[in-house]
Structure 1
Amino acid sequence: MDKRILVAYATKYGATAEIAQAIGETLRKTGATVDVAEVEAAVAVATYDAVVLGSAVYAGHWRKEAVEFLDVEKTNLADRPVWFFSSGPTSEGDPVEAMDGWRFPADQQPAADLIGPRDIAVFGGCIDPEKLNLGERLIIKAVKAQTGDFRDWDAIDAWAAGIAQTLTG
């Protein structure tokens, strides 16, 4: 496959970046040229054949920089195949169930409707208490959030393989 694919992401502590890198590696196995970049560094969206856009999720919202990227690039994104992913739920089991059916930020739904993503995935996240500041640790304790790594690498790889199949099929 001689496609150019952008995997753009917004992360706070790096867990979403690691998911984006894994997606990029799976897509590269098809022979595609894949750039994996933080949304602030992602440029020339119009030069890509497809885009995968992901963000860490906090309280049901994407990170500000992902929202800004989505708003600025929505016209370019609407002109090519796009997939969205979110990373954030920190519990065992299905991340969508853990988020009470949440799949995408409601305040960004108009942009998503314009873009028409091929799929929207929600992956488990990762909370490393050592990386959190005091305020964040207190919030985690107050809401009794689970800490640890809840990313399902097999599910991430399978989702990326599905993207590759769509682009090569």
Structure 2
Amino acid sequence: MARVSRPAPIDEAADRISAYVYGNILLLAALVVLTREDVRDGAGLAIVAGTAVSTFVAHTYAERLGAAVRSAERSSWSVVLRDSVPILSAAAVPALLMALGALDALPATTCLRLAEAWVVARIALTAFIVGRLQGRPVTVRTWVASVGLAATALVIVAVKVVLTH
């Protein structure tokens, strides 16, 4: 019986962080082009869900192929799927907010702005997550890095929107 070597936990964490950031950036790019009417008529929910699912599938596929390059042994689908889950988690709160806006439980514009703010905050929190994984205490540098990460993500989203819409 061949023994399958598993990547070190830090490698798995790095893969999950990558999926987390990637998923949040693409979700934010989808959110910033939505209108109040998109939220009201349910299109916002469909776009958020569609972005999350399609990004999850594409990322999982690409990661499985990339894992084959790193190792002669095939990477387990379960590991690749688990490491891609942060992409889906990026859409959970925004999807809920889009549903609330479609149901008129909250104003559509409020739902949209809250969803965008939520995703930007998740991206900013990456600095804290990485610091914790590396065993570093929270410092001023952590806070500066979190602002830098959010700002960089906003620039990436702006470039994507300008080039694709």
TM-score (norm 2): 0.30
Rg comparison, structure with higher value:
2
Higher relative contact order (Cα pairs below 8 Å, separated by 6+ residues): 2
